[in-house]
Structure 1
Amino acid sequence: MIKEEVEPQETVEETEEIEEVKDVEYTGLCNNPYFPVKPDTFWNYKVQNPSDTYEYVSSFIEIANESFMEKIESKVFNADIKWLCLSDGLVQSEYSALMLEDDSQGMEFTTESYEGVTLPSPDKWIIGYKWDTRYRVRTTIIVEDEQVTFTGDIIIKNEIVLIESVTVPAGTFPEAFKIDSDKSMNISVDIGGTSMSFDAYTDISSWYAEDTGLVKQISKATCGTTTIELLYIEEKGI
């Protein structure tokens, strides 16, 4: 008589547990079709600013139900950006991670607190929806050969203004959501009773496509205009 070998039931249970953990990457508060967070997927972008043209790659690691890390890699800078997933939407918890190019370039910020979200929850993606994002920050710069610590506020006022077609190297997205953002920065310090301040303003237009994420962004500041466009998306390990 030939005896059949039967795989232990534990193996099946272990497989089911692995699949359940993997599902966390696509569900929960972090699941936003306008900013899809997927493992082994790489968004490749091109940046053009007044002083340089370069590419960067965005990917996601440490994906959980309430947070994830966005990994940015380029020849200009590398960054690990922590995102928090809230009932109202997704928020970058560190302001310094928001900057690719604007009037505050060259400064390193420490975020003391934040309010609001960076991107709203999926049910709020309708024309006319408005929200604010606020950061309380501090930074140290050199003033007359001395290190001086400035503190201040960054306020970003956002509004979904249009659904329109946008074309970038990655293709044409016929129903992209356009978000207009007005960013104001006021950094100040008192030195020996004398108040000093730094003000900067940036106008930002961003286009997001469902199941794709950011496809284009144009930032206009005193230092010039910066354009970011999606080149292609690469999926690995599938």
Structure 2
Amino acid sequence: MRPRRPILTTLLIASLVTTLACNLGSASPSTGEAQPTSDPAQPAPPTPEPAAGLCDNALYPVRQGAAWTYQSTGSPSGDFSYTDTITEVRADGFTLSTQFTGLTRTQEWICETGGLKALQMGGAGAAASVSTQGTTAEFTTSDVTGISLPREITPGMQWQYSLTMTGVTAMPGDQNAQSSGTFNLTMQEMGKETVSVPAGTFEAVKFQAASLIQLTADFQGVQVPVTMNGSSLVWYAPGVGFIKSVENSDFGGTPYTSTTELQTYGIP
């Protein structure tokens, strides 16, 4: 008996919502939560000097052991928290570990003369594992083009980042749905703002992000197209990293707004 299309679409979206959130956040110990190292009631710590080399980025400090904990609310997959930790730094790249409750994902980055580039989608499938019982989605990526976060950003600057992804959605009853598609992201600098989040108050750079995920899932011969458009505002604080995003998206005619905020952070 073939599954109803709305059910499969909903399960895929549960995964994509966090995939999108983590990618917007990623410029977005590997099995332990970050410990609070900042207190909103205390003065903000001085901005650390960035490390020299290709990974030097004023808006995203690439330091081994740096950790950021976030809380996301309002998405169709439910509210959740996660911790990003830089577990390894190399001359030409670094490894970012994203930990959800009982689940960890790793993401490799490379450092180029133009800036930082993620080679995988951040946290792919993690929200589905946490919020959709019995359903897990795993994606692998290829054909990565563009840049995630430029080394130098000028007022009004715009840039693109895109990749191809393939994956499997494991559904209840030992059934799998093969899926493939593309992820495209366009970012633009929108000026500076003072932003307050649980981790503190920061002078931040504001960006507007437009994203598009297009997937086709094949389940028992049924081709199910999934398209997800998103428009977000994203804030990065110099010397701190990603601190907040507000995402407005629409799938299947149902709009939603989700907010992700930095809760605590520690940068060696």
Give the TM-score range, shorter chain.
0.7 to 0.9
Contact 2:124 2:139 (C-alpha < 8 Å) held by counterparts:
no
Distance 1:136 1:187 in 2: 10
Indicate the structure whose relative CO is greater, using CA pairs within 8 Å and at least 6 residues apart: 2
When residues 221 and 167 of structure 1 are mapped into structure 2, their CA distance, relative to the original with a 3 A threshold, is same
Deviation at 1:57, TM superposition (A): 2.1
Q: Deviations over 1:101-151 (max 9, x none)?
A: 69xx95322112210111111x2x1221111111111123479x9645332
SS of 1:229 mapped into structure 2: strand
Distance 2:235 2:182 in 1: 26
Structure 2 residue aligned with 1:6: none
Structure 2 residue aligned with 1:29: 54
With 218-227 and 184-193 compared, the bigger mean Cα shift is at 184-193
Structure 2 residue aligned with 1:154: 183
Structure 1 unpaired stretches of 5+: 1-24
When residues 147 and 60 of structure 1 are mapped into structure 2, their CA distance, relative to the original with a 3 A threshold, is closer
Structure 1 residue aligned with 2:260: 228
Q: Deviations over 1:30-88 (max 9, x none)?
A: 11120001123322222223454443222212201111111222316421111111111
Distance 1:192 1:61 in 2: 40
Distance 2:139 2:258 in 1: 20
Length-normalised TM-score, structure 2: 0.66
Opposite residue 197 of structure 1, the aligned amino acid is: P
When residues 96 and 154 of structure 1 are mapped into structure 2, their CA distance, relative to the original with a 3 A threshold, is same
Distance 2:225 2:170 in 1: 14
SS of 1:39 mapped into structure 2: coil
Q: Does 1:43 align with 2:68?
A: yes
With 77-86 and 133-142 compared, the bigger mean Cα shift is at 133-142
Q: Does 1:60 align with 2:86?
A: yes
Counting aligned pairs with the same residue, the percent is 23
Length-normalised TM-score, structure 1: 0.74
Q: Does 1:116 align with 2:146?
A: yes
SS of 1:62 mapped into structure 2: strand
When residues 165 and 199 of structure 1 are mapped into structure 2, their CA distance, relative to the original with a 3 A threshold, is same
| Greater share of strand | 1
What is the aligned counterpart of 2:160 among 132, 143, 160? 132
Contact 2:125 2:137 (C-alpha < 8 Å) held by counterparts:
no
When residues 140 and 59 of structure 1 are mapped into structure 2, their CA distance, relative to the original with a 3 A threshold, is closer
Distance 2:81 2:220 in 1: 44
Opposite residue 40 of structure 1, the aligned amino acid is: G
Deviation at 1:234, TM superposition (A): 2.9
Matches within 5 A, 1:85-100: 85-95=111-121, 97=123
Deviation at 1:211, TM superposition (A): 0.5
Q: Does 1:205 align with 2:233?
A: yes
Q: Does 1:163 align with 2:188?
A: no
When residues 101 and 128 of structure 1 are mapped into structure 2, their CA distance, relative to the original with a 3 A threshold, is farther
Opposite residue 200 of structure 1, the aligned amino acid is: M
SS of 2:90 mapped into structure 1: coil
When residues 232 and 196 of structure 1 are mapped into structure 2, their CA distance, relative to the original with a 3 A threshold, is closer
Distance 2:84 2:192 in 1: 24
Structure 2 residue aligned with 1:18: none
CA root-mean-square deviation: 3.0
Deviation at 1:197, TM superposition (A): 2.2
When residues 82 and 190 of structure 1 are mapped into structure 2, their CA distance, relative to the original with a 3 A threshold, is closer
Distance 2:205 2:125 in 1: 21
Structure 2 unpaired stretches of 5+: 1-49
Q: Does 1:188 align with 2:220?
A: no
Structure 1 residue aligned with 2:98: 72
Please tell me whether Structure 1 or Structure 2 has the larger radius of gyration of its CA atoms: 1
